[in-house]
Chain A
Amino acid sequence: MKYIKSIFPLALAIIWTYALHNSWGTLPPLGKLMSPFHGFWVNAEAPESSELSEQNLQIPGLEKTVTVVYDEMAVPHVFAENDHDLYLAQGYLTAKDRLWQMEFQTHFAGGRISEIVGEKGMISDQFQRRMGAVYGAEKSFEGMKEDPKAAVTLQAYSDGVNAYIESLTERNYPLEYKLLNYAPEKWTPIKSALFLKNMSFVLASGTDDLKMTNILRKYGKEVAENLFPNYPFMESPIIPVGTPRDFKPVPIPESPSDFIGLGSAMKTSEKDPNIGSNNWAVSGNKTVSGLPILANDPHLTLSLPSIWYQMQLVAPGVNVYGSTMPGTPNVIVGFNKNVAWGVTNVGSDILDWYQVKFKDASKAEYWHDGKWKKTTMRIEKFKIKGKEIFVDTMFFTHHGPVVYLSHEKPFKSNIPVGHALRWIAHEKSQESTTFYKLNRAANYADYAQALTYYSAPAQNFLFASNQGDIALWVNGKFPLKSYTQGKYLLDGTDPKADWQGYIPQSHNPHAKNPARGFLSSANQSSVDPSYPYYMGWQYAPSERGRRINERLEAMSKITMDSLRGLQNDNFNIRARTLLPLLLAKLKSPAGGVYGQAANELKRWNLQNAADSQGATIFENWVSLLHEAIWADDFSADENVPMNSPSMDRTIKMIQDEPDALWWDNVKTKNKKESMAEIISGSFIASIDSLVKKHGPIGSEWAWYKHKQTGVRHLIPGMDALSRLNIPTGGGGTIVNATTTKTGPSWRMIVELSKEGRPKAHGVYPGGQSGNPGSAHYDDLIDTWAKGELRSLLYLEKPEDATGRLRKKIILTIKK
């Protein structure tokens, strides 16, 4: 008894220490985390002084000395003597600011989140792998390595990341490792491939084939094609109409036999439809300077740490500035002395589903082209935290992976079960070569050549040079399809339904120096219907594209600042068409809040400004109106998910089809609703919902308060590390495409110069450092929210005296 008594405090101390050394559910390991010697306190960084400080760091693997200077935005300008050292330094310096993010994003991409968070990450992990993320990255890495320069780049980058990881001890791990209680692992070049592949997930994994087949099964082909037309009624395509064609089209494949698939599936979320981007370039004849100006703002999910990381990379043969993506070498969007380029996503259909007919439960064979063919298998292992290894078998037909077997429950409602996935992201590819060459491009020919290596995700690559050229290639690998092939689920037994090769790269839609003096893209239709190939039936809504083109058409004597104004344009072009149509039909009580709201709308200047109340009323009304028209017909059964017709089609119906049968709410059995009733009813409902949410009409109805834009930390629910309630205007169909969770993730404007340095401005909603304990974690957000830009510092040599340099680091060889 005495003995037990004497060790009781020891047992208690051990239990206490064990408890504080480990994480419990979402509770972090408190002892490690709170210790002022080991925990988060160590991650706090004092703001640097405005004096230039100097530091030496020894890095293993370097061949020569590398000089790095940081400016006041904490952008590193890297001066190396060869490619190897340049990319090694890029890896090292990126990891220094963004290690946790790089690893977390590639863990996510590779379906390995359950290794960090345990079983709850498993469904998403399995989805990533079943979609072929790892399979695709492996194939694409094979292709990347075939270019010896890209191979050096990827390996050196990886060595640089590892040199940084090896320099760390547990106490200086980035904060998130301490919160989630794990340690960084070695970086490998294939992780860069995984990161690039993940961009296909982010930008080019949207798929409506299942929903369209469900519509086909319920309403038949005529209705499906009528409500989901293959070209919008209002459009301003990316390639100007009438652009001369410099190629002879190859023959279009024969259409597959008519097929109505089985459809089905269940409900959950999917790709955010607001992910899109803007870019444009204007020729010298429209600018004050006489040389082209290029502007780009890729729209992505707004996150902290930011998806982008600015850098200047200098070595013999290259001096490029721009935004890099942590996890992958080179600058992705940027400029050098001679050229500038930017990207926006292409909404072409590069993902199709084939209904598979297996011979038996073994799934060893499937029926195709009149015979049984062998499936192949791939084993995926999941090292779930706190559990045993889970082994998953994937089955492949020649199309690609069968993502879910017929009896499985899909992770997302738009993913069909029992279908094989054919997706461009599974192809061998060489995106890394494209960016390597773009970083060094000196003219149009270099740019066009760089693009020939690019597969996915397809982008509108916009270009401007100081020789005065502007150009745009809708670029990527596009399957050669028959008209509307793959709009619906395809028959996996029919060889004519297979992809029959690709559109030759030189036939990809493109334009150079058009007569109108500008080129732009905002994810809308790439081409008008006269283009000889079928690329897809559904692109982003045309509003942003139409607004940008109408403004650029009207603008002259353009400066960087007037283009900054256009990037922040809040004009609601949809409201210009739709609002008068709706107000003409609106019958609502004249007095009270409804009358006030209607008057507010009549007074509204059609600007989605941050403090606009009209914007709140309009946007909320339109979304409820859309639901009121279509939900009864297309969202009635959550087990049979369907698309709803687009706003473009809906506006056409309001204009021209007041008696369409779709106006009736089929859920009210004894009543046939009219268009005016639906319009007025949805108005009243939307005002009621706003009153409920924000109280009486007034300043609480301001658009930004309703929209609630936030830049959120990558760990879901981590509000303390996020910036919420940011006062910005804009919206999904506005050029300033800032929504609740998505928006311009990098705004850049570059004016090229014949002899001198290019002038450039840019900003992204975040900061260079991924460390929440750094002043540079979110220091650019306020500038971004105000619609302002920072001047980007383009150096010729590290000694350039600018007064903007804060820190100099000499990287020397560690023997």
Chain B
Amino acid sequence: MNNSLSFSYQLAIVLVMVVIGAISGLYLPWYALGILFGLLAYILRIPTGRAFILGLVSGFLLWAISAFWMDGQHPSSLPGRMANLFPLGGSVIGLYVVTGVLGGLTGGLWAWAGAKLRFK
């Protein structure tokens, strides 16, 4: 078990996760993100100590950036309304963050689970 992965290797994992997460998002249910991150952690033998954080970062980036991008492509009052509903005081930036956190925790938990199954 090796916890000292190089930065570029970790960056590569994040990129792979983000790409796979994005493709799955287009064709599969939302939770496929988590299951695929878990599989990736298992197959790529990501160390348990890094799996959660890598999944979290990937999930966060994917969901937060996608939300930001969707909002940019389809500017509407809906994010503002949702940010009042939740309630985030109408802060759309807050809504990107919450979206990112949900994607991040989903990705992180599953990546951790995948790693843990590999390294019993």
Binding site for B on A (CB under 8 A): 2-3, 5-10, 12-13, 16-17, 20-21, 30-32, 34-47, 170, 175, 718-721, 772-775, 777
Known: A16-B106, A20-B106, A774-B76. A6 touches B116 (CB 8 A): yes
Interface 0/1 of B51-77, CB less than 8 Å to A: 000000000000100110111011111
- By Cβ-Cβ distance, the 8 closest A-B pairs, closest first, are A37-B25, A773-B78, A36-B66, A720-B85, A10-B113, A35-B30, A13-B109, A9-B113
| Complex Cα gap A9–B79 (Å) | 33
In the complex, residue of chain B having the shortest beta-carbon distance to the beta carbon of A16: B109
What per-residue 1/0 map shows which CB atoms of B100-117 lie under 8 Å from chain A?
001101100110110111
Taking a contact as CB atoms under 8 Å apart, the answer to whether B30 and A31 are in contact is: yes
Q: Whole-angstrom distance between the alpha carbons of A36 and B63 in the complex?
A: 6
Which residue of the partner chain B has the closest CB to A42? B70
In contact, A13 and B117 (Cβ under 8 angstroms):
no
Determine whether B45 belongs to the interface, using a CB cutoff of 8 Å to chain A: no
CB pair A41–B77 under 8 Å, yes or no, is: no
B5 beta carbon closer than 8 Å to chain A: no
Closest B-chain residue to A11, C-beta based?
Answer: B113
B109 CB contacts on chain A under 8 angstroms? 9, 12-13, 16
Select the residue from A9, A34, A44 with max chain B CB neighbours within 10 A: A9
25 A-B pairs (CB sep. < 8 Å): A3-B120, A6-B117, A6-B120, A7-B116, A7-B117, A9-B115, A10-B116, A13-B106, A13-B110, A17-B31, A34-B63, A36-B69, A37-B25, A37-B26, A37-B30, A39-B30, A40-B78, A40-B82, A41-B66, A41-B79, A46-B74, A170-B29, A720-B81, A720-B82, A774-B76
Residues of A within 8 A of B99 (CB): 34-36, 41
Q: Which residues of B contact A41 (CB under 8 A)?
A: 66-67, 70-71, 79, 99
In the complex, the answer to whether A44 meets B78 with C-beta atoms within 8 Å is yes
Compute how far the CA of A814 lies from the CA of B63 in the bound complex, rounded to whole angstroms. 36
For B76, B99, B117, B119, the residue with the greatest tally of chain A CB atoms inside 10 Å of its CB is B76
Q: Are A35 and B116 neighbours in the complex by a CB distance under 8 Å?
A: no
**Cα–Cα, bound, A42→B66 (Å):** 11
Residue B34 CB within 8 A of the other chain: yes
The B9-40 residues at the A interface (CB cut-off 8 A) are 22, 25-26, 29-31, 33-34, 38
Please determine whether A37 and B66 come into contact, CB atoms closer than 8 angstroms: yes
Option from A16, A36, A772 in Cβ contact (under 8 Å) with B70? A36
Q: How far is the CB of B106 from chain A (nearest CB, A)?
A: 7
A43 touches B78 (CB 8 A): yes
Instruction: Tell me which of A30, A34, A47 has the highest count of chain B C-beta atoms within 10 A of its own C-beta.
Output: A34
A36 near B25 (CB under 8 angstroms)? yes
Q: Which residues of A contact B77 (CB under 8 A)?
A: 772-773, 775, 777
Query: Cβ of B67: which chain A residues have Cβ within 8 Å of it?
Result: 36, 41
Contact A720 B84 (CB under 8 A): yes
A44 nearest CB across to chain B (Å): 4
Q: Contact: A31 with B70, CB < 8 Å? A: no
| A16–B108 CA distance with the chains assembled, in angstroms | 11
Minimal Cβ-Cβ distance residue in B for A179: B85
Taking the complex as formed, is B93 at the interface, i.e. its CB lies under 8 A from any CB of chain A? no
Contacts of A32 in B (CB 8 A): 30
Given A772-B81, A773-B78, A44 and B70 contact (CB-CB distance below 8 Å)? yes
State whether A44 touches B76 (Cβ < 8 A): yes
Q: Which partner residue on chain B sits nearest A6 by CB separation?
A: B120
Quick check: B116 and A8 within 8 Å, CB to CB?
A: yes
Q: For the complex, give the distance between the alpha carbons of A255 and B72 in Å.
A: 71
A305 CB, nearest partner CB in chain B, Å? 14
Within the complex, the shortest CB–CB distance from B109 to chain A, in Å, comes to 4
Cβ contact within 8 Å between B38 and A2: no
Contact between chains at A20 and B84 (CB < 8 Å): no
Q: Which residue of B is nearest A31, CB measured?
A: B30
Other A-B contacts than A6-B116, A31-B30, 7 sampled, CB-CB below 8 A, are: A8-B116, A9-B112, A34-B63, A35-B63, A35-B99, A46-B74, A777-B77
Residues of B within 8 A of A772 (CB): 77-78, 81
Q: Give Cα A21 to B106, complex, Å.
A: 11
B96, chain A: closest CB distance, angstroms = 9
A73–B106 CA distance with the chains assembled, in angstroms: 41
Chain A residues lying within 8 Å of B103, measured Cβ to Cβ, are 34-36
Specify which chain B residues have a CB less than 8 angstroms from the CB of A719 in the assembled complex.
84
Complex alpha-carbon distance, A720 and B90, angstroms: 9
User: Whole-angstrom distance from the CB of B43 to the nearest CB of chain A?
Assistant: 15
Q: Is the interface of B mostly helix, strand, loop or mixed?
A: helix
Known contacts A720-B84, A720-B85, A44 near B116 by CB under 8 Å: no
Q: Bound state CA distance, A20 and B105, in angstroms?
A: 11
A46 to chain B, nearest CB (A): 4
Most buried by B among A12, A37, A718: A37
Contact A17 B113 (CB under 8 A): no
Alpha-carbon gap, A2 to B120, bound state (A):
7
Question: For the complex, what is the distance from the CA of A36 to the CA of B120, rounded to whole Å?
Answer: 34
Q: Which residues of A contact B74 (CB under 8 A)?
A: 44-46, 773
A6 to B115, CA, bound (A): 9
Tell me which residues across on chain A come within 8 A of B119, comparing CB atoms: 6
How far does the alpha carbon of A3 sit from the alpha carbon of B29 in the complex, in Å? 29
Contact residues in B for A6 (Cβ distance below 8 Å): 116-117, 119-120
How would residues 38 to 52 of chain B score, 1 for a CB under 8 Å from any chain A CB and 0 otherwise? Answer: 100000000000000
Please state if A13 and B84 are interface contacts (CB–CB under 8 Å). no
CB of A99 to closest CB in B, whole Å:
17
Cα distance A12–B51 in the bound complex, in angstroms: 15
For residue A775, which residue of chain B has the nearest CB?
Answer: B76
Q: What's the minimum C-beta distance from A48 to chain B, rounded to whole angstroms?
A: 11
Q: What residues on B are CB-neighbors of A721 within 8 Å?
A: 81, 85
Q: Which residue of A lies closest to B83 (CB)?
A: A720
Q: In the docked arrangement, what's the CA distance between A9 and B74, Å?
A: 37
Residue in A closest to B22 when the chains form the complex, CB atoms: A37
User: For the complex, what is the distance from the CA of A641 to the CA of B72, rounded to whole Å?
Assistant: 56
Give Cα A47–Cα B117 distance, bound, in whole angstroms.
48
* A-chain residues with CB within 8 Å of residue B98 when the two chains form the complex: 34
Q: How far is the CB of B5 from chain A (nearest CB, A)?
A: 19
Asked if residues A34 and B71 are in contact (CB atoms below 8 Å), the reply is no
Contacts of B81 in A (CB 8 A): 720-721, 772
Residues of B within 8 A of A31 (CB): 30-31, 102, 106
Chain A residues positioned under 8 Å from B63 (CB to CB)? 34-36
A42 to B115, CA, bound (A): 32
On whether the beta carbons of B76 and A12 are closer than 8 Å, the reply is: no
Which residue of A46, A175, A720 is within 8 Å of B73 (Cβ)? A46
Q: Do A12 and B113 contact each other (CB < 8 Å), given the known contacts A44-B78, A774-B76?
A: yes
**A720 — which chain B residues lie within 8 A by C-beta?**
81-82, 84-85, 87
Known: A39-B30, A41-B70. A34 touches B78 (CB 8 A): no
Query: Residues of A contacting B34 with CB < 8 Å?
Result: 13, 17
Contacting pair A38 B84 (CB below 8 A): no
Complex Cα spacing A127 to B66, Å = 46
Residues on the B chain within 8 Å of A38, using CB: 25, 29-30
A16 to B113: give the CA distance in the assembly, Å. Answer: 12
Given the complex, which residues of B lie within 8 Å of A34, measured CB to CB? 63, 98-99, 102-103
A34 to B79, CA, bound (A): 10
B49 to chain A, nearest CB (A): 12
Residue on A nearest B90 in the bound complex, by CB: A720
Residue among A42, A170, A720 with the highest chain B CB neighbour number at 10 A = A720
Shortest A170–chain B CB gap in Å is 8
Known contacts: A34-B98, A37-B66. The answer to whether A44 contacts B71 by CB under 8 A is yes
Q: How far is the CB of B34 from chain A (nearest CB, A)?
A: 6
Say whether B79 contacts A13, CB under 8 Å.
Answer: no
A35 contact set on B, CB distance < 8 A: 25, 30, 33, 63, 99, 102-103
A745 to chain B, nearest CB (A): 22
Distance to closest chain A CB from B45 (angstroms): 15
Task: State A7–B63 Cα separation when bound (angstroms).
Answer: 26
Which residue on B lies nearest to A15, using beta carbons? B109
When the two chains form the complex, which single residue of A13, A21, A46, A774 contacts B38, counting CB atoms closer than 8 Å? A13
